[in-house]
Amino acid sequence: MNDSAEKKPTRFKLRLEKAKNPRCRKYKRRLPPAVEAPPAPRTHLQAVIEDLRSGDLAGDFHNPYIFGGSARVKAGVDEAGAAVKAAAFIAHAAVSDAIDSAKAAIKARKERKRQLVDAEIQAKNLAIRRKYYEKDAERRRSETERILAATPPPANPMPTPEALVHAYVHRHLGEAEAIRFGNLVADLEEHVRWTLTTRSKEGRIIEGSGGVRRWLKANCPELLPHYHTCQRFKRMAQPDMK
């Protein structure tokens, strides 16, 4: 168990590795949702109701090898089946109402129990948590400083709006042109991220800073409607983070 815990990287190590490789990206594979099997009936009554709904018992009621195939027997079987179905639905409704009432009572009891929590216990827990607030804040500040120190400056110069537009127009001329446009978008994002992280006290892009989208709106509005296309070509040119 200790070996698996040591192999799993911490959140700080992941942030540090990402800061050291700003031009790489980490793929996140989305697995298809698991198909759950329908729940099995919990009681015999529910099993009978499911069989009546699906029609599994209807074929036996009209089987000539079982009931002789006479019209009188079939009519009696139909009448009995209808009566059984009605009784089953009534019983199912009664059981469902009872279960819902019990669940509502349990939920109300839990809610009352939650509301009756002693305020003194809450204050005691808060006092315990406050003991390590300052220590945890200092740890986060030191980690942020290490991440900022490990983040390399942009490798290439800042692309101009004219170069971006020219590369965007010629991106379909060949694979080299597509990679060139993706690298220019990566350079732009690297410069924008470097500027925002060095200006931020937390060492990360804060909410509302805008990023590449705001830079395009201010400096290159021709490519703003094609922001997602720019990001797609950037991902094509980016290497995977190992």
Name the most confidently modeled range: 36-50, 143-157, 170-184.
170-184
CA angle (200 as vertex; 195, 206 as ends), nearest 5: 95
Q: What is the mean pLDDT of residues 33-48?
A: 68
Extents of the domains making up the chain: 44-116, 118-150, 153-242
Residue with tokens 């006479």: 70
Summarised one tens digit per residue, pLDDT across range 95-114 is 788 888 888 888 887 777 77
pTM (predicted TM-score): 0.49
Residue with tokens 């759950």: 36
Calculated CA dihedral for residues 179, 184, 187, 193, nearest 10 degrees: -110
Q: What is the mean pLDDT of residues 224-239?
A: 90
* pLDDT surpassing 80 at residue 32: no
What proportion of the chain, given as a percentage, has pLDDT over 90? 21
- Judge contact between 47 and 41, C-beta under 8 A: yes
- Judge contact between 213 and 224, C-beta under 8 A: yes
Tokens coding 207: 């909410």
Least confident of 106-115, 216-225, 230-239: 106-115
* pLDDT surpassing 50 at residue 65: no
- Inter-residue long-range contacts of 168-176, CB under 8 Å, 24+ positions, other chains counted: 168/223, 168/226, 168/229, 168/230, 171/233
* pLDDT surpassing 80 at residue 27: no
What crossing angle do the helices spanning 175-199 and 161-169 adopt, rounded to 10°? Answer: 150
DSSP-derived secondary structure letter, 22: T
